[in-house]
Structure 1
Amino acid sequence: MSTQQDDSRVDRSFNRSMLFKLFVVAAMMFGFGFALVPMYRAICQITGINNLVQRDVGVREAKNTQVDASRTVSIELDANARGPLQFKPEQSSLDIHPGEVMTVMYQVTNEQSRTVKAQAIPSYAPKQATEYFKKIECFCFTQQTLAPNETKRMPVVFVVDPKLPKDVKTITLSYTFFELDAPKSVAKGT
């Protein structure tokens, strides 16, 4: 009988030890999960990946840029909306000189009787123009909250770098504005 008690104590001791080890592993996995977010952000910042909506930091110091008045670039403005939003630029195109700081306005309307949170994601064409199109201020840098039936005018302040290749005569700036955290019935389209 003493052997059974010894075996039972060994089993309990083993079980407690295993339970402790499992708690430690679970806590480490939980901590690692939280550590992934700042690690992901740091990697994205270093590599330049996934930075479509980040502010172009060096542009604010470039207030005295050289304007290249010898050439004109056409900027075409496009807007798309996903969800219960009406979204459009106030003008469809404009001609600018590289190096000239410009402001264009977009308008978004929440057509729902509920508050909507939304985010805009920019894209550029041709792709090679992306690195030369510098946004100083943009509504795409932050999420937008629109009250029921609210309309907002939102600016984009930008400059096209004079180093833009000479063969690029037109740049299309397109935004897709989409609802965040859409109700499941809206997200499914029912």
Structure 2
Amino acid sequence: MSDSDKSDVSPERPERSLNRRMLGKLLVIAVLMFGFGYALIPVYKKICEVTGVNFLTPKDVTVEAPSNSQIDKSRTVTIEFDGNSQGPWRFRPTVASMKVHPGEMTQVVYEVVNTQARSVDAQAIPSYAPQQSAAFFKKVECFCFTQQTLGPNQAKQMPVVFYIDPALPKDVTTITLSYTFFEIGGQAKKAS
């Protein structure tokens, strides 16, 4: 091989080596980014659970309608209802508050109206005040257990069937149940 042939071959080898290293680094970064994004979901859920913010409420399979329960008629708890929305709709409870006896099965209805000419998927997240009351607020049926799909300009009445556990501390006389209703993923379905 002549000197001119060697000069043509030698620059390629360091470039290929650098390119392979760069490709390897980029693949490692891509895998790490995917793993980080995948790990964010359970981390986010755990942070929300610990802080009590935007905690998704799974249906509690152990909660059943109290079949032979004792309703505590000596106590009355005021339940206040609130609805917040983040999306293209009106969302509100049909009543502002009600008085219930611990152990008594009760139903409240929330109303949502999609004000857009497109379908939307949404989810409701409950929050409670005072925070300690969340453990005693037993939902048997709730629209918050599943995602809701609202058609263009659709109105929907969504019930919440619940009871207050009679073990609720005596000093808690008022509970506020608040739902935040928001669009899932911000993706809109096109109207047919």
Please give the TM-score of this superposition, normalised by the length of structure 2: 0.74
Check conservation: 1:44, 1:51, Cα contact below 8 A.
no
Give runs of aligned pairs for residues 67-82 of structure 1, distance below 5 A. Answer: 67-82=71-86
Report the CA distance shift for 1:151/1:126 in structure 2 as closer, same or farther (over 3 A): same
Cα displacement string for residues 144-186 of structure 1 (whole angstroms, at most 9, x for unaligned residues): 2211221111011222121211011111212233345278xxx
Q: Which amino acid aligns with 1:105?
A: V
CA distance in 2, matches of 1:140, 1:25: 39
> How far off its partner does 1:61 sit?
4.9
Q: Which amino acid aligns with 2:128?
A: Y
SS at match of 1:68: coil
2:157 to 140, 153, 159: 153
The number of equivalent residue pairs is: 183
CA distance in 2, matches of 1:81, 1:74: 23
Check conservation: 1:79, 1:174, Cα contact below 8 A.
yes
User: Which moved further from structure 2: 100-109 or 151-160?
Assistant: 100-109
Indicate the residue corresponding to 1:133 in structure 2. 137
> How far off its partner does 1:9 sit?
5.3
CA distance in 2, matches of 1:16, 1:139: 54
Identical residues among aligned pairs (%): 43
Q: What is the Cα-based RMSD across aligned positions, in Å?
A: 3.2
Please give the TM-score of this superposition, normalised by the length of structure 1: 0.75
Indicate the residue corresponding to 2:182 in structure 1. 178
Q: What runs of 5+ residues in structure 2 fail to find an aligned partner?
A: none
Indicate the residue corresponding to 1:54 in structure 2. 57
Cα displacement string for residues 16-43 of structure 1 (whole angstroms, at most 9, x for unaligned residues): 4414422431342244135314542674
Indicate the residue corresponding to 1:118 in structure 2. 122
